A and B are shown apart, each in its own frame.
Chain A
Amino acid sequence: DADVTQTPRNRITKTGKRIMLECSQTKGHDRMYWYRQDPGLGLRLIYYSFDVKDINKGEISDGYSVSRQAQAKFSLSLESAIPNQTALYFCATSANRGYNNEQFFGPGTRLTVL
């Protein structure tokens, strides 16, 4: 079984719709992250959480919100989707191990906003 899972894997939605992307992990890590990947722009951080009660904005948080429901679950919401949010979204996790906080990524969710 995959250590970091994301649902759905693909989603097509319309402008203005609310959508939630979910991430679950079985690695027992405290830290979780949401990134988006766009062609030519690379991966950029949206939100991150160091534990259940800790939520932090990343580089591009506008238009997004998150919820850390449990240590193992971190969801990303688009309250009112717009076409420029079309991208590949990745969830990642890491342990709090100082200099060895290797990040592990999920398989990604391909989101298309029409």
Chain B
Amino acid sequence: KQEVTQIPAALSVPEGENLVLNCSFTDSAIYNLQWFRQDPGKGLTSLLLIQSSQREQTSGRLNASLDKSSGRSTLYIAASQPGDSATYLCAVCYGGSQGNLIFGKGTKLSVKP
């Protein structure tokens, strides 16, 4: 069964710290991997998408990496801010006849002022 795991489930850091969120997946034959942000009771905001042929993607203070061989992706957040507090979800697409996403359960991030 294709599974996506995110560790840790929750993380609390002081403002200004650089931090890394982890995502692992059991089947390395992925199409792409997407990172989302979800604020409490709200929808999902797409942050970054890494295609299977790519090693990393950057957007502002965010950098996502992908290592298919080890079944891992990381989301690096530089100089964290209280506004970064949210749940971060990793989702894997296996493409083909599916195209849907398989989600991890998320990492809840709290950035303290």
Interchain CB contact (< 8 A) of B103 among A42, A98, A108, A110: A42
Task: Tell me whether A31 and B43 are in contact (CB under 8 A).
Answer: no
Give, as a whole number of angstroms, the nearest-CB distance from B7 to chain A: 14
**B interface, CB within 8 angstroms of A:** 31-32, 34, 36, 41-46, 49, 51-53, 89, 91, 93, 95, 98-101, 103-106
Taken together as a complex, chains A and B put the C-alpha atoms of A58 and B46 apart, in Å, by 21
Q: Interface residue count for A (Cβ, 8 Å)?
A: 27
Q: CB-CB < 8 A to A107: which residues of B?
A: 42-43
Q: CB-CB < 8 A to A100: which residues of B?
A: 32, 49, 51
Closest to A100 in B: B51
Q: CB-CB < 8 A to A43: which residues of B?
A: 89, 91, 101, 103
- If over half of A's interface residues share one DSSP class (helix, strand or loop), that class is named, otherwise mixed; here it is strand
**A interface, CB within 8 angstroms of B:** 31, 33, 40-45, 48, 50, 58, 88, 90, 92, 94, 98-108, 110
Taking A48-B98, A103-B101 as given, write out 9 further A-B residue pairs in contact, using a Cβ cutoff of 8 Å, ordered by the A residue number.
A31-B99, A42-B103, A45-B101, A58-B100, A90-B43, A103-B34, A105-B36, A108-B43, A110-B41
Taken together as a complex, chains A and B put the C-alpha atoms of A105 and B47 apart, in Å, by 12
Give, as a whole number of angstroms, the nearest-CB distance from B94 to chain A: 11
Interchain CB contact (< 8 A) of B104 among A31, A42, A92: A42
